[in-house]
Structure 1
Amino acid sequence: MDDLWPVAGLRVVSGDLELRYLDDDRLLALARLAQDGVHAPDAMPFTVPWTQGTPTEVARSVLTYQWGARAAVAPERWKLELAVLRDGEVLGTQALMASDFPVIRTAETGSWLGRRHQGQGVGTRMRLMILHLLFEGFGGRYATTSAFDDNGPSNGVTRRIGYAENGIDLIDRLGGLATSRRYLLDRATWDARPADLRPEVRLHGVEAAREQLGL
């Protein structure tokens, strides 16, 4: 359906990793992956605690959110949810979200990996891939992201890439007070990143996607 819904044809490729549109087969694999666990039982890295509940409830949360995100693609507001693939296996999802992007040129990233795929360096690589799409493919000016103070891996990836801290949010997390840190990455910092953060990335289907996003 790439001719009618061009973002479905987006591909971001780097080495053995690929970011692809969440079609029905990939979405089902993603939901089943979430059933197997996304984080430790005593942790909650998400502002919306969608990982709570039975495995079936967690999988259904993934399906309902992603079905809504599919329709939320228009020049004034969009959510691009891409499957993270390695050798065809779904490892998690990498998202890029924006409002009024044709004018503001700023987008927020968010992601998660199945627990069994964590700690392998995938998180850094998939973030670099989505940032490449944002800056090189879509002409972005700024990237934003956020993470709770106690989410060490996410904060570590963000700081290593070169984001600057950009304030905090105080959030009611499961009935307790939690601090979420906001981060900002500008185009100049992205262009100046060191060589070890410059993997080869290939983009496919960008021009058609740009037309759908009003770019």
Structure 2
Amino acid sequence: MNVATGSWLTRSAHGRGIGTEMRAALLLFAFDVLGAEWAESGAASWNEASLAVSRKLGYEPNGVTRVAPRPGEAVDEQRLRLVRARFVRPDWTIAVRGAGLALAQLGLGAPRM
């Protein structure tokens, strides 16, 4: 199983570690609770801050594609992939409650934690 992530932070939240922490929490959930083998993401090729967050967590480049975020506008998107074994885990953990019912609804069985 794999997961795909995406996020957007308002400019006032940039540079404060919020994006890194949010992505790390999502990856902890994906790998440890859902049992994902890898995660995929992407960022506009010009968005160095977003790409830096991905690199910090262990993501590696996985090709470039062309996307149209708005009608009439096309940009290159750097695709990224992170395998579970390369995840640079934070020094904190998450606690998940109630995942069993959600996983059952999704047909994924019991939480892996």
Q: How many residues align?
A: 107
Superposed displacement of residue 172, structure 1: 4.1
Aligned to 2:6: 110
Q: CA deviation at 1:134?
A: 0.4
Instruction: After the TM superposition, list the runs of 4 or more consecutive aligned residues in structure 1 that deviate by more than 4 angstroms.
Output: none
Q: What secondary structure sits across from 1:140 in the alignment?
A: coil
CA–CA distance in 2 between the matches of 1:212 and 1:117?
A: 34
CA RMSD of superposed structures (Å): 1.7
Alignment of 1:3-152 (within 5 A): 105-152=1-48
Higher relative contact order (CA 8 A, sep 6+): 2
1:182 to 79, 91, 104: 79
Deviation at 1:173, TM superposition (A): 5.2
Q: Name the one with the larger strand percent.
A: 1
Q: Distance in 1 between matches of 2:8 and 2:94?
A: 20
Between structure 1 and structure 2, the one with the greater Rg is 1
The gaps in structure 1 that reach 5 residues or longer are: 1-104
- CA drift at 1:209: 1.3
Superposed CA deviations along residues 150-172 of structure 1, whole A, max 9, x for unmatched, are 11221010011111111110234
CA deviations 1:8-49 (Å, max 9, x no partner) are xxxxxxxxxxxxxxxxxxxxxxxxxxxxxxxxxxxxxxxxxx
SS in 2 for 1:112: coil
Provide TM-score, normalisation by structure 1: 0.46
TM-score, length-scaled by structure 2: 0.84
Q: In structure 1, how many angstroms separate the alpha carbons of the residues matched to 2:49 and 2:23?
A: 12
Instruction: Give the superposition deviation at 1:206.
Output: 1.3
Q: CA deviation at 1:208?
A: 1.4
Q: Helix, strand or coil: the match of 1:145?
A: strand
Please list the CA deviations of residues 69-91 of structure 1 after superposition, one character each: whole Å capped at 9, or x if unmatched.
Answer: xxxxxxxxxxxxxxxxxxxxxxx
Q: Which residue is 2:61 aligned to? A: 165
Q: Distance in 2 between matches of 1:169 and 1:119?
A: 26
Structure 2 spans left out of the alignment, 5+ residues: 109-113
- The one-letter code of the counterpart of 1:202 is A
